[in-house]
Amino acid sequence: MNLNQLTLPVTDFDRSVAFYREMGFKLIVHSPPRYARFGCPDGDSTFSLHTVDHPVNTSGVVVYFECSDLDTRVQRLLAAGFEFTQLPTDERWLWREARLTDPSGNILCLFWGGNSRKNPPWRVAT
């Protein structure tokens, strides 16, 4: 089984599409005012946006995007006017993470986990 995509709820379709395009994601489906789908710059993963009437991110869901160039990417986004709630920080779980929210309040984590992404020292033996 492979994760194909996830869908994020958005309240301002046009602003959200512009936000993700400016972050560097490739717009591959554009059906305003309700639906857009993006390809990630690396790999085969995609995600989509679907318009909702009210913000719904009360579940604690965080969307993680892996970036081997995390610090450089964050500096580029800061220069472009993006606001981060957490700048790149080395976490105790051995990932380096930066966090921001999209225009609809969805929580995004840009991170680099290196080998610890799938093989942390506490990994369950298989």
Give the model confidence (pLDDT) of 50-95 as tens digits.
Answer: 999 876 666 678 999 999 999 999 999 999 999 999 999 999 999 9
**pLDDT computed for residue 57 by the predictor:** 60
What would you report as the CA-atom Rg of the chain, rounded to the nearest whole angstrom? 15
100 pLDDT more than 80: yes
pTM: 0.90
Residue 107 has a pLDDT of 92
Kindly tell me the sign of the dihedral angle through the C-alpha atoms of 111, 101, 25, 87. Answer: negative
123/119 Cα distance (integer angstroms): 6
Domains of the chain, start order: 5-115 (3.10.180.10)
Which residue has better confidence, 44 or 84? 84
Q: Residues 17-31: what's their mean pLDDT?
A: 97
Other CB atoms within a 10 A radius of the CB of residue 112 amount to: 19
The predicted pLDDT at position 126 comes to 79
Model confidence at 28: pLDDT above 90: yes
Whether the predicted pLDDT of 41 surpasses 70: yes
Quick one: pLDDT at residue 53? 87
Mean pLDDT check: name the lowest of 6-15, 32-41, 50-59, 60-69. 50-59
